[in-house]
Amino acid sequence: MITHGWIAAWADQYDDAFDDDRIGAIVGKVDPTYRDIEQVYRWKSARAIGHFQKNAKPLVTRRVRSALAEPDEAVALATLVELHGVKARMASAILAVFRPERYTVMDRRAWESLTRHGLLPDVQSLSWQAAWPTYLAECRRIAGTHRVTLRELDRALWAAQGEVGLPSS
């Protein structure tokens, strides 16, 4: 069971100094530039940056700003997935960096942690994009219940990588 103590213990295992150095200055930025968006892409998947760079810079900026203003989470994600080299998990990272109070990162490690706790059973066979609304709602529920930020929860889920117990000292 995910508890506040579980979240705190696993979040402490996450080495956030690297993230702070790479994306800390742009977290929550209202009107991100192409350079900011590329920085998020490099943080999440540097090796695939060539695919992303095939997009026209003004198009990337317009799409990201449009997605960030979109009230519907599924539409926001879909808007970003239309970009070359951006799939659902990358799109979630872009949304999470610029709107951390509203979004979280969706990735394999966090997914594994949630499913090992018996959560997300109805979306196991869905694509990442189709599972996004349920994934996001579950993360918001957990974060709200335990009064933690979505980023703190994400760090815990990522660090736990499917472990249900507390980390060993």
Give per-residue pLDDT as tens, 135-148.
Answer: 999 999 999 999 99
- pTM for this model (two decimals): 0.95
Give per-residue pLDDT as tens, 84-138.
Answer: 999 999 999 999 999 999 999 999 999 999 999 999 999 989 999 999 999 999 9
Give per-residue pLDDT as tens, 10-41.
Answer: 999 997 655 767 898 999 999 999 999 999 99
Does residue 129 sit in helix, strand or coil? helix
Enumerate residues 6+ apart whose C-beta is below 8 A from 163: 10, 113, 116
With tokens 């980023």, the residue in question is 151
